[in-house]
Structure 1
C-alpha cells in the first residue's frame, strides 16, 4: 500500500504487517465498526476500510493524525480520525473490532511515554505503560462478540497481557507470532535489556506477538 510516511511518524514495519495479517482473518463487512488505536500513518485503519468496515482511528500525535488524514485522502477512504489519548475520543462508542499497535519498547525513562519520535515506541521501564491501559480500557468498548487485536513484543511481557485481558472478561489466544531482528532503537538498548534479563546475552531479536481477545456474546 502506498503511504505518505513523514519523519516523526511511526512507519509501518513488521508489527504492522503482522497485525494487518490478523485483521484480514476477521469477518468484516460494511456494517462492521472498527477502531484503530495508535494509528500512526493509518496503515491498519486503511486495511480495515479496504475490507469494507466503518473505521475510526485515534492517535495522540497531531502529526500522525495529519498523516493518516492525508493517506485516507490518497486512498479515497472515509476513515474518521481523532487526535486524543487512546479511547478518550470515543468513550461513548462500542466497536466490533479494536486494533492496536501501541508503544511497547522498554525505556530508561520512568515518568512517561517518549516525546517526539519516541512517542511511537517508548513505553516506560517495562514496556507496558500503554499496553496496561489498553488491557483495562478496550474490553469495555467491545460489542458482544467483539474482538481486540493487540500487537506487542515478547520483551514487554505477553503473559501479562493475556492475564489482564482474561481478567477483563475476554477469551484470549495468541493469534500470530513472528521472530524479527532488532532495529536501530532496540539494538541501541540491547545492553540494558541484557542487564534486565529481558534477553539472553548476545540476543538481537524479539518475537512479535498479536494477542486476540474476544468478548463473549
Structure 2
C-alpha cells in the first residue's frame, strides 16, 4: 500500500507487515474499536479500517506522523481518528477491543529518547525497552474484557520480559509470530555498538521480530 510519508516519519517495513498480518487474523476485528499506538504513516490503522473495524483511533507523538496519517486516511476515504500525544495518553480512559503497536524498540547508545529527527521512530534506550515497558504497563487498562493487545518488537529487547510484564498486568500473553530478517540500515550502523555490548553475536547480520499477543480475559 503506497502511503504519503514526509521525512522523519517511519516507513512501513517488515515489522509493520508482520503486525498487520497478525491483526488481520483476529476474529474480533470486524466491528471492533481499535487503537493504534505509534501509528507513523498510519499503515496499521488503515489496515484495521479496511478490514471492517467499527472505530479506529491512531496516536503518534510526532506532528509529522499525525499529518501523514491524517492525509493517508483522507486519500483512502478511511474513517480513522488521528491524535497527537505520548503513547495512549490522548485517548484518556476509553476502552478498545484491539490495541496494536509498533513502538520504537531498537537498542541505542543513549537512554535519552530523541525529540526530533528520524531516530525518534526507532531509538528506545540501551535496552530497547523504554517504550515497550511503558506499553506493557499502560495498554492493559485500556482493553475491554476479552480485548487483545498486539505488539511487535525485536527479540533483542527481550521477548520473555514482554510476556512476563503483560502477564503480571493480568493478561494472558504469548508470542504468536516470529520472523527473521536481515539487518536494515539502522541495525547495520549500530552493529559495532551492539556487538561491543554483547547484545548480538560478532558478525551477526539478522534479527528476529516477534509479535506478542496478550488477552484481557476479564
Q: Could you say whether these structures have the same fold, taking a TM-score greater than 0.5 normalized by the shorter chain as the test? A: yes
The runs of 5 or more residues in structure 2 that have no matched partner are none
Q: Which residue of 2 aligns with 1:88?
A: 89
Q: Which residue of 2 aligns with 1:181?
A: 182
The reply to whether residue 48 of structure 1 matches residue 40 of structure 2 is: no
The reply to whether residue 9 of structure 1 matches residue 9 of structure 2 is: yes
Return closer, same or farther for 1:30/1:162 CA change in 2, 3 Å cut-off.
Answer: closer
Structure 1 residue 91, shift from structure 2 partner: 1.6
Q: Which residue of 2 aligns with 1:165?
A: 166
How many pairs align? Answer: 217
Q: Please report the TM-score for the alignment, with normalisation by the length of structure 2.
A: 0.97
Q: Which residue of 1 aligns with 2:23?
A: 23
Deviations 1:77-131 (A, max 9, x none): 1101100001110122000000000000011112224531111000011100100
Deviations 1:29-88 (A, max 9, x none): 553100000000000000000111110000000000000001001100110110000111
What pairs with 1:1-217 in structure 2 (closer than 5 Å)? 1-29=1-29, 31-53=31-53, 54-113=55-114, 115-217=116-218
Contact 1:114 1:122 survives alignment (8 Å): no
CA distance in 2, matches of 1:202, 1:29: 41
The runs of 5 or more residues in structure 1 that have no matched partner are none
CA distance in 1, matches of 2:82, 2:75: 15
Q: Please report the TM-score for the alignment, with normalisation by the length of structure 1.
A: 0.97
CA distance in 1, matches of 2:9, 2:60: 11
CA-based RMSD of the aligned residues comes to 1.0
3-state DSSP of counterpart to 1:130: helix
